Copies of this chain bind each other. A is one copy, B any other.
Amino acid sequence: MFYIGVIGAASCSATVEKRAEEVGMEIARRGGILVCGGRGGVMEGAARGARREGGLVVGVLPGRDRRQGSPYLSVALATGLGDARNAVIACACDVLIAIDGGYGTLSEIGLALKMEKPVVGLDTWRLISGRGLEAGILAAGTPEEAVELAFEEAKKRLCLP
């Protein structure tokens, strides 16, 4: 069983939300547990997709009231940690898929890479270090490809065949 994070902004275009939904559907079809920030936009799109395919979705919320989570969560975990919950999301996942995304997503990418978790990107941040090196985000062209890559990386990470 893999824990796949889907990270992205709480408000986004309909096109981006649709891609998130397809990512969520594909994660559920492959039996992954989807972990997200539990709110709107990319998070809700992914959650909705995963639930439609019978998947399990965990939302790690920044606030103290679990009723502020998306209605598509299987588990709405109110952490009360504010933005520090982004570190919990990165820590809880075997691999993360970043879709588009704002500054919160940027922080989650940084935290995941710091923790040596693979990050797959779908139209997300390009990151060039002060020394001119590009951060190791694995680029995917479609939702299916993103999930395919994520599962491959998760298997490698956990040393499974």
Binding site for B on A (CB under 8 A): 3, 33, 35, 56, 58, 60, 64, 66, 74-75, 77-84, 86-88, 90-92, 99-111, 113-115, 123-131, 135
On chain B, the residues within 8 Å of A135 by CB distance are 103, 106
A82/B82 in contact, CB under 8 A: yes
For A60, A88, A105, the residue with the greatest tally of chain B CB atoms inside 10 Å of its CB is A88
Q: How far is the CA of A135 from the CA of B103 in the complex (A)?
A: 8
4 closest residue pairs by CB, A with B: A107-B110, A106-B110, A84-B87, A80-B91
On chain B, the residues within 8 Å of A107 by CB distance are 86-87, 107-111, 114
Task: Tell me how far the C-beta of A16 lies from the nearest C-beta in chain B, rounded to whole angstroms.
Answer: 8
B126/A128 in contact, CB under 8 A: yes
